Amino acid sequence: MLLVIAWKNIWRNKVRSLIVMVSVMMGLWAGAFILAYVFGMINQRLEDAIGSEISHLQLHHPEFGVDYDPQFYLDNSQSIIEDIEASPMVDAVSGRVLVYGMVASPSTSTGGKLIGIDPEREDQVTQLASNVVEGEYLRTKDRYKIIVGKKLADKLKLKIRSKVVLTFQDVDGNIVAGAFRVKGIFRSYNSSLEDGNLYVNQNDMSALLKTNGQVHEIAVLMQSGETVNEYVSTLANRHPKALVESWKQLSPELGLMIDSLDQYMIIFFVIILLALSFGIVNTMLMTVLERVKEIGMLMAIGMNKIRLFGMIFWETIFMVLIAAPLGLLLAYINIHWLSIHGLDLSAIYQEGYAAYGFKPIIYPKLEAIYYYRIMILVIITAIVASIYPAITALRLDPVKAIRKI
Amino acid sequence: MYLILAWRNIWRNKRRTFITMASIVFAVLLAILLNSVKEGVLIKMQENVVSFYSGAIQVHKNGYWDEKTLDNSIAYSDSLITQLVNHEEVNVAIGRLESYALAASEKYTKVCMVVGIEPENETLVTSLDKKVIAGDYIRSEDESVLLSEGLAEYLKLTVGDTLVIIGQGYHGVSAAGKYPIKGVIKFASPQLNKTMVYLPMKLAQQLFDATNRLTALVLDIDDVSDADRIEKELTLTTSDEYEVMGWKVLLPELNQVLEGERAENVIFLFVLYMLIAFGIFGTVLMMTIERQYEFGVLIAIGMRNLKLSSVVVLENIMISVLGAIAGTMLSIPMIGYFYKFPIRISGDLEKAYENFGFEPIFYFSIAPKIFYSQTIVIFCIALVLSLYPLLKIARLKPVSAMRT
Amino acid sequence: MISFRSIFINSMTLLTLMVAPCAYAQDAKEIIRKADEKRRGDVATASMTISIIRPSWSRDMSIKSWSKGTEYSLILVTSPARDKGTVFLKRDNEIWNWIPSIERSIKLPPSMMMQSWMGSDFTNDDLIKESSIVEDYTHSIVGDSIIMEREVHKIELIPKPDTPVVWGKIYSWIDKKEYIELRSELYDEDGYLVNEVKFLEIKPLGGRMLPSIMEYIPADEEGHKTVIKYHEVDYNARHGLDFFSLQNMKRVR
């Protein structure tokens, strides 16, 4: 009986009910959206920061980092790469032959980090191909072609098809040299990469360095940033001879910043939750206020307080039950769409990173469990928010209440 | 006349007025809170970032950043320093002389970064003295060096041992020297921890045969967030011989993270304003519904629509103003509390902060700008939303209104 | 001083440029081969002054060098005073540096070996010299003229594909009778002159008539020049491998 009255009440004043329901829907949507956005952002920030250089984790010979001596390559590196690639947690993996050497053009010469790559794998890990602004990216069958940064190209006065000579020490300490033709010029937001990194095909480099097809560095991009630490220890166990380091170990400054930002996102999230709760509470308060006269009337005609409280309570429950699935659906559709198309923030960026081929696009993502959590949170907020006004209503003096305009 | 009417009206139904006002108060509070933590954290983070090593602004000889050699150094010049420090917001200009060289012990040799510093001033930028883990910090008259921990370990050297430095000096002269190690410093960044050697400026200038020369002047400024502007102003006032660079150029990858952060914050603000707007709208809407009967009566007894609208608008302005003021007043002690007792960072991150020598704290900003800008934004949102009742009044049919 | 590397280069360049004064012209390759022949010579000692000239400053330094093939060499700096007694030793792919002021010899680590050498006008190509002026180029006589009152061949050298040479082509002017290189011009692949090398003051050195001054002039940098002036050369010196040793580094004068 009470339930029927509550149900009918909802539709008696459609505008009022709609407001309550919409504010619950909004709350649900906002909560789910912000949470999805936070997750997407953390992921994106990590990818932006580590994407073009560090990757999620790297493997080296333990001695390699000391002085970048090329003789310290990873034994069995091809089988390590295959092993890593087989893991379902891994998105992409790239092996690199590395040596510090000289790069010379007719006009001048300078030092650089010479990187022998497998073009396809490297592109999967660092999106190198999309940073090539002039000429073309390397292909696996290219012989003695090189990709250089814009700044280096300017310094050495290089154009597409220019010849450069790379000189470095091989694993035995002999000085070796090779001539390479510029195939592409890349840009990077980080000018030191543009200045110092040169990319050539791994086979060419390997032959000159005599590393027997082994590599010095293996960079791994994970499916998700959350599994990095777990996978670092897995890899350390599986390949005890290699030094496995996560991006945080490789660049603690970056780790510090990203971790701090992630934590402070949580503060933001709490503030947003507060805002949505207050929105609902306020709307509920106003609703009861509007019904003072009606409630006074019901009390005057002898409805007891418990039943009255129950009625208001059930009204709230019904409204939330109608609004919650709708809100969830709205949030789901919205988040799902954005998770595919992304939320492009480039218009808000102050500086022109987009010029370097960087698109600050965030892909919000939310696992099912979080939808439920947000829903429960919002329902509890709505119910709690309805209790106070209901109690207030019960304290009303029926006579005064009726007289109220 | 309208004013008095409106004023009386809002106190006629106190509960309704308080609820509407409360929605605005909360909105102002939350908006200020969000912006305060946003600004506080970002500014603190910028300060942390520049204290890693670079400082907020550096001045070099033009072309040094592209080709970092001693030949691209500048002569120490009082007039340049005076000129830089004369800028109101620049506190001090600190000289550095940097060059790569070889560091060696009896058995081991490794490439290192040799930095000549003004030991007393350097601490203003990098708190280098707090990073000493063994021995003592150097003084400007010392003939001894500071060695980073990783390098010391590699070379198997410790405090009191002798470090050999070999490299090239100014105009390619040979540079070699051996120095007692006065202290060992620890950097949280492995890159720095592996490579740094600090010498008092005079000693470094001797080593590199670069008497009175510097590769960089590091500027300490009042507020890191003004670095861009100060960089531009200094570029205009200094001669073309020099290049002035802000930390955003010096540290592009860290700047990118912060820059991304700013863009991402916009979405938070957007969602917050949306929620706030809807919260206020909900109360305004309910208020309008509740008062339909009243409006109907007033119009029926001959009050003109325009007059009624004016009174309602005035009421809303009053409520909004009162709400905004109350919200701002309440926010002051709240932000003050968080400013005084900021949120402490816990867990692994706390350790990371301590490794870097930073306080593990989320700061709240008390910049006045935040208070008035947010108050104004919320006030405007409230005003725009209060136009809704006007629509209702304009379309009001007294008879049907009174019947509800 | 310029740096240990450029000093090697200088000593190697020296050997490269000392040419055999004999025979008569055959084809272009033969001319170059003869001009290059002494580079493969066994042992040589030399003393020279290197001057680095820049628009705003210049420096001189004197060195003595000993070498055996391209594998071993030892260089002693004799002036300026600041650097006097500094020794560089190249042996078995290692470079060692003896510094008398701190009484230490240090092996340069691999990461340092390839650092750019500041102050000098030489390119990296000079350093390696693994590329052979005879085998890595195709040669042709493209004309003749007169330089310093001597009749010379003008020979064009085009690098063979895939050789580690940055130049697009080189012109070399070589004395018709004595196979002395008197001048060379180095071009990039677009045909722009990049560097010019001049050989001056031919006089007896180590029993042969050779240019005693070499000027290395980058084409597009006004006022930059590196000049090497040879004082003495001895092709008959005999030094065993133990001369190129760490112990000897500290003793050599």
The partner residue sitting opposite C57, judged by closest CB among B69, B110, B171, is B171
Q: Which residues of B touch A345 (CB under 8 A)?
A: 260, 263-264, 266-267
Could you list the beta-strand ranges (E) of B125-234.
132-135, 145-148, 162-168, 174-185, 196-200, 213-214, 216-221
* Token code pair at residue B183: 């202290």
Question: Is the per-residue pLDDT at C3 higher than 70?
Answer: no
> Dihedral sign, CA of A169, A172, A174, A178?
negative
- The more confident residue out of B261 and A359 is B261
- For residue B24, pLDDT over 50 is answered with yes
Q: Say which of C111, C127, C164 has its CB closest to residue A100.
A: C111
Q: What is the pLDDT of residues A152-192, one digit of tens each?
A: 998 888 999 988 988 888 888 777 888 899 999 998 867 77
Q: Does residue B14 belong to the interface with chain A, where contact is any CB pair within 8 Å?
A: no
Distances (CA, A) of A158 to A50, A154, C154: 28, 6, 29
Asked whether the predicted pLDDT for residue A237 surpasses 90, the reply is yes
Residues of B in contact with A253 (CB under 8 A): 49, 52, 188-189, 254, 356
B186–C contact, CB cutoff 8 A: no
pLDDT value of residue A92: 92
CB contact under 8 A, A271 and B189: no
Measured CA to CA, the distance from residue B221 to residue A32 in angstroms comes to: 42
Q: How far apart are CA A258 and CA B75, in angstroms?
A: 39
**A167: nearest CB among C94, C124, C187:** C124
Read out DSSP for chain C? ---HHHHHHHHHHHHHH-----S----HHHHHHHHHGGGG-SEEEEEEEEEEE-SS-EEEEEEEEEEETTTEEEEEEEESGGGTT-EEEEETTEEEEEETTTTEEEEPPHHHHT---TT----HHHHH--S-TTTSEEEEEEEEEEETTEEEEEEEEEEPTT-S---SEEEEEEETTT--EEEEEEE-TTS-EEEEEEEEEEEEETTEEEEEEEEEEETTSTT-EEEEEEEEEES-----GGGSSHHHHHH--
C-alpha to C-alpha distance for C248 and C253, rounded to whole angstroms: 10
What residues of A are in contact with residue C131 (Cβ under 8 Å)?
A: 177
Question: Which member of B69, B178, B209 has the closest CB to residue C102?
Answer: B178
Residue B120 is predicted with a pLDDT of 93
Q: Enter the DSSP assignment of B107.
A: S
**Range with lowest mean pLDDT among A134-138, B38-42, B60-64, C40-44:** C40-44
Whether residues B176 and C99 touch (CB distance < 8 A) is answered with yes
Name which of C5, C136, C166, C192 to mutate to probe chain A: the one with the most chain A Cβ atoms within 10 A of its Cβ. C166
What residues of chain B lie within 8 A of the CB of A27, using their CB? 275
- Residue-wise pLDDT for C185-199, tens only, equals 999 888 899 889 898
Give B251→chain C minimum CA distance, Å: 24
Of C114, C188, C195, the CB nearest to A169: C114
**Phi (first) and psi of residue A146, to 5 degrees:** -140, 145
For residue B295, what pLDDT is reported?
Answer: 84
Q: Chain B 72-101, CB below 8 Å of chain A: which residues?
A: none
Q: Which of C4, C124, C221 would you mutate first to test chain A, the one with the most A CBs within 10 A?
A: C124
Alpha helices by DSSP H, B53-172: 78-86, 119-126, 149-155
Are the C-beta atoms of C215 and C122 separated by less than 8 Å? no
Q: Is the pLDDT of residue C48 over 50?
A: yes
- Interface check for B269 against chain A (CB to CB < 8 A): the answer is no
**Half-sphere exposure (CA, 13 Å, Cβ side) for B63?**
9
Contact B174 C82 (CB under 8 A): yes
Residue type, C32: I
Q: Which pLDDT band, with edges at 50, 70 and 90, does B94 fall under?
A: very high
Of B15, B22, B263, the CB nearest to A348: B263
Tokens of A89: 């947690």
| Inter-residue contact A114 to A68 (CB < 8 Å) | no
Contact: C164, A178; criterion CB under 8 Å = yes
Both tokens of A12, joined, read 């008696």
The pLDDT of B85-104, averaged and rounded, is: 92
Rg of chain C taking only CA atoms, in angstroms = 18
Instruction: Return the structure tokens found at B392.
Output: 């209702």
Q: Which residue has the higher pLDDT, B196 or B6?
A: B196
Report residue C121's pLDDT band, with 50, 70 and 90 as the boundaries. low
Separation CA C110–CA A171 (nearest Å): 10
Q: Which residues in C41-64 are b (16+ Cβ under 10 Å) and which e?
A: eebbbbbbbbebbbeeeebebbbb
Cis omega (within 30 of 0) for bond into C80: yes
Of A271, A345, A351, the CB nearest to B264: A345
What phi and psi values does residue B302 have, to the nearest 5 degrees? Answer: 105, 5
- Asked whether the beta carbons of residue B256 and residue A48 sit closer than 8 angstroms, the reply is yes
Q: Which two tokens stand for residue C243?
A: 């001369």
Cβ separation C124–A168 shorter than 8 A:
no
Instruction: Give the whole-angstrom CA distance, residue C198 versus residue A4.
Output: 108
Greatest mean pLDDT among A51-65, B38-52, B190-204: B190-204
* DSSP secondary structure of A303-315: --HHHHHHHHHHH
Cα nearest neighbour of C3 on chain B:
B172
Residues 6+ apart with CB under 8 A from B387: B313
Mean pLDDT, rounded, of chain C: 76
**Which among B71, B172, B178 has the least Cβ separation from residue C3?**
B172
Which of B257, B275, B289 is nearest residue A45 as measured by Cβ atoms? B257
Contact B110 A66 (CB under 8 A): yes
Asked if the Cβ–Cβ distance from A345 to B271 is below 8 Å, we say no
Structure tokens at A135: 């000429």
Tell me whether residues C104 and B109 touch, CB distance under 8 A.
no
Quote the Cα angle for A321-B279-B373, to 5°: 150
Q: Which residue has the higher pLDDT, B384 or A392?
A: B384
The string of pLDDT tens digits covering residues B183-215 is: 999 988 888 898 999 999 999 999 999 999 999
A158-172, A262-276, B88-102, C229-243: range with highest mean pLDDT: B88-102
| Residue B257 to residue A258, Cβ atoms within 8 A | yes
Please give the residue of chain A at the shortest CA–CA distance from C118: A110
Residue A372 is predicted with a pLDDT of 84
Whether B402 has its CB under 8 Å from any CB of chain A: the answer is no
| Interchain proximity B294–A405, CB inside 8 Å | yes
Using an 8 Å Cβ cutoff, are A204 and A146 in contact?
Answer: no
Q: Using DSSP, state whether A187 is helix, strand or coil.
A: coil
| Alpha carbon distance C136, C167 (integer Å) | 12
Q: Nearest by CB to B166, from C80, C99, C120: name it.
A: C99
Residues of chain C positioned with their CB less than 8 A from the CB of B174? 1, 77, 82-83, 86, 99
Contacting partners of chain C (3+ CB pairs under 8 A): A, B
Candidates A64, A72, A99, A108, partner chain C, best to mutate (most C CBs within 10 A): A108
Q: Residue A337's CB: how many other CB atoms inside 10 A?
A: 12
- Of A228-242, B212-226, B319-333, B340-354, the least confident: B340-354
Q: Would you state the pLDDT for residue B379? A: 86
Test the C interface: residue of B165, B173, B207, B241 with most C CBs within 10 Å: B173
Q: Would the CB atoms of A286 and B286 count as touching at under 8 Å?
A: yes
Candidates B186, B195, B286, B291: best to mutate against A (most CBs of A within 10 A) is: B286
Give the single-character DSSP code of A226: G
CB contact under 8 A, C93 and A173: yes
C170, C157 in Cβ contact below 8 A?
yes
Q: Which of B64-78, B138-152, C86-100 has the lowest mean pLDDT?
A: C86-100
CA distance B380 to B398: 30
Is A351 a residue whose pLDDT tops 70?
Answer: no
**Does the distance separating the beta carbons of C125 and A69 come in below 8 Å?**
no
